[in-house]
Structure 1
Amino acid sequence: MFKQLALVALLGVSASAIAGPWQVKLGGSVLAPTSDTKLGEATVKAEHEFNFTPSVEYFFGESNFSAELLLAAPFNQNATIDGARLDGKFKHLPPTLTAKYNFNNSSRFTPYVGIGATAFIPWDESGLIHKVKEDFGFAGQVGVNFQPADAKNWGVFVDVRYADLNPEITLADENRTKFKLDVNPIVYTLGYSYRF
């Protein structure tokens, strides 16, 4: 009888009480470059890219602070020169770590802001792109998580990130031309969150 009562009590515990410090987020993102680069008289610009971007977040006790690590499937990055697509591309990963403050309140919306650092890890250069160097920079983030009334540990979120990234590119021309590709992307993400 005692075991049955204990089981009923456990099943009656609210989701907020049993929710742990970890949260996983599965999102779809648009990487939108905000800058372009002058190469002589030509203008080089990274193209918009779309991707699947999971992340893992850890909440520090009962405080409003958390840390989030953004991961991603590899981006296949293209660029244009004066509007024409460059004959070459490369892949890259953008791991980003942000320290966040979550504005907890009585509503089902939890806004948040974050600041941190990001990395640009390229590989698999092809065509006219001979070499792309790693880069590191500042990252910022704002967003909101929404928990529907019938939800337990899950929710939906939308956020916007900015990354200060300017990787050096070497072209496969006879002069091995080098330049900094000013990407400085804004990343728009919509997705699903689950806390456990």
Structure 2
Amino acid sequence: MNKNSIRFGGLIAGLVMLGVTAAGAADLTPVAEAPVADVPAAPSPWQIRVRGVGVITEDAGSVGGLAGSGLSYSDSLIPELDITYYFTDNFAAELILGTTFADIKEDGAVGVPVGRAWLLPPTLTLQYHFTDFGAFKPYVGAGVNYSMFYNQSERGGFSNLDVENNLGVALQVGFDYMLDEHWGVNFDVKKIFLETDWSVDHDTLGPLSGKAKIDPWLIGAGVTYRF
């Protein structure tokens, strides 16, 4: 073998080794990943509200057997907690929790205070939320209310006051104005259609009973927090 052949063979071997080394280095070089676009996180389906609520009653009812009888109930201001779950951006369910009391007065034939009954009226509404107005988010709702009367007490001359629990219908309209992603302010109006039976004993008149038509308006304002 002549010197030229040896040199040519060495050159070929060197090129092969250089190619192998370059290939190995390429395998060790990290491959740059394509940038991933930021995707906004979906809002939580849970929301709570804390409201101050004015309870304004209908003041209607009767005492059976007393001509010209009528009933009235005191209004009140109460705190209220609402828990909302969003099925979609538009549809949600809201559970409304609060408690209040009403002073009951017969303001017709007898015209005297009868007693006081505390009321726990959990209400569940199905809501439709409008989403085309930016931070202003109005909604309407309808649902059911179950009113439970407890801690009932009587005034002088009366005993054994019993206002029966009953199921009612609730209608709702309101809006949130969101200040940022989580916090907002709320205004809400609900109408609850509530009529129930009641009874009481009187020292002179004996057993009395009738219908109590309360039908309260619940007008509230407060703070919204979306998780």
Q: TM-score range by the shorter chain?
A: 0.7 to 0.9
Separation in structure 2 between the aligned mates of residue 159 and residue 176 of structure 1, nearest angstrom: 40
* TM-score normalised per structure 1: 0.84
| Cα deviations by residue, 1:45-85 (Å, 9 ceiling, x for unpaired) | 11211111101000013x4000000001x312112222866
Task: Supply the AA of the counterpart residue of 1:188.
Answer: I
SS of 1:42's equivalent in the other structure is coil
Over 3 Å counting, the alpha-carbon distance change for 1:97 and 1:45 in structure 2 is same
Select which of 28, 49, 53 maps to 2:80: 53
Structure 1 runs, 4 residues or longer, greater than 6 Å off:
none
> Comparing 87-96 with 173-182, which one deviates more in the overlay?
173-182
Please say if residues 106 and 114 of structure 2, whose CA atoms lie closer than 8 Å, have aligned partners that are also in contact. no
Higher CA-based Rg: 2
Q: Does 1:24 align with 2:48?
A: yes
SS of 1:105's equivalent in the other structure is coil
Please say if residues 79 and 85 of structure 1, whose CA atoms lie closer than 8 Å, have aligned partners that are also in contact. no
Q: Does 1:161 align with 2:190?
A: yes
Equivalent pairs, count: 180
- Which structure carries more relative contact order (alpha carbon 8 Å, separation 6+)? 1
Give, in angstroms, the shift of residue 182 of structure 1: 0.5
Give, in angstroms, the shift of residue 173 of structure 1: 1.6
After TM superposition, list the pairs within 5 Å mapping 1:38-187 onto structure 2.
Answer: 38-39=62-63, 40=66, 41-61=68-88, 63-72=89-98, 74-82=99-107, 86-127=113-154, 128=158, 130-148=161-179, 151-174=180-203, 175-187=206-218
Compute the RMSD of aligned alpha carbons: 2.1
Query: Percent of counterpart pairs with the same letter?
Result: 28
* TM-score normalised per structure 2: 0.73
Please say if residues 59 and 71 of structure 2, whose CA atoms lie closer than 8 Å, have aligned partners that are also in contact. no
Mark the runs of 5 or more structure 2 residues left unpaired by the alignment. 1-37
Over 3 Å counting, the alpha-carbon distance change for 1:85 and 1:68 in structure 2 is farther
Separation in structure 2 between the aligned mates of residue 132 and residue 106 of structure 1, nearest angstrom: 44
